[in-house]
Amino acid sequence: MSGAPEGFAGRVTASFDHQAAMRTLGARIVRIAPGAVDIELPWRDDLTQQTGVLHAGIVAAILDSACGYAAMTLMPPDADVVSVEFKVNLLAPARGERVVARAKVKKAGRTLTVCDADAVAISGGEERLVASMTGTMMSVGDRG
């Protein structure tokens, strides 16, 4: 994936730092590359659902942010990104020392960018695929 405008990593980091929800969840960006962003969420008991695994909505939250920022890496410097829609498949119980969402751009367009992302749970150095997302992200005006 080429064509990331200069300064993309700084813009992604700055925008992510304004996502209060990510801070509240304890998530952090661990990789920014042209067309690809990874977000990591260390385990927290207080983000689980009734079966003791990470709540599907929390998994969706880091997948969605990863998709949005993967899309943003390829957008013009003055563009912001919003989610149009996403689809999540829960593939295995999300439990581990941490869960990492890895998004990459599938198709970048002027207005719409489609991203794929996987979420893996990592424990003792082993990782397991727990969820996947396909999301449509939209470039919106300038960030003002």
Q: Does the footprint of a second copy cover residue 104 (CB under 8 A)?
A: no
Of these, 86, 98, 122, 127, which contacts a second copy (CB under 8 A)?
A: 86
15 contributes a contact to a second copy by CB under 8 A: yes
Query: Which residues make Cβ contacts (< 8 Å) with residue 25, sequence separation at least 6?
Result: 41, 44, 47, 58, 61, 62
Tell me whether residue 6 or residue 46 sits nearer to a second copy (CB atom). 46
Q: Is 86 in contact with 67 (CB distance < 8 Å)?
A: yes
Residues 37-76 that bind a second copy (CB under 8 A): 45-51, 54-58, 60-65
* Separation between Cα atoms, residue 70 and residue 41, nearest integer Å: 17
Is 24 a binding residue for a second copy by CB under 8 A? The answer is yes
Phi and psi angles of residue 29, each rounded to the nearest 5 degrees, phi first = -75, 130
The site for a second copy (CB under 8 A) is made up of 15-16, 18-24, 45-51, 54-58, 60-65, 80, 82-92, 106-107, 111-112, 114, 116, 129, 132, 134, 136, 138
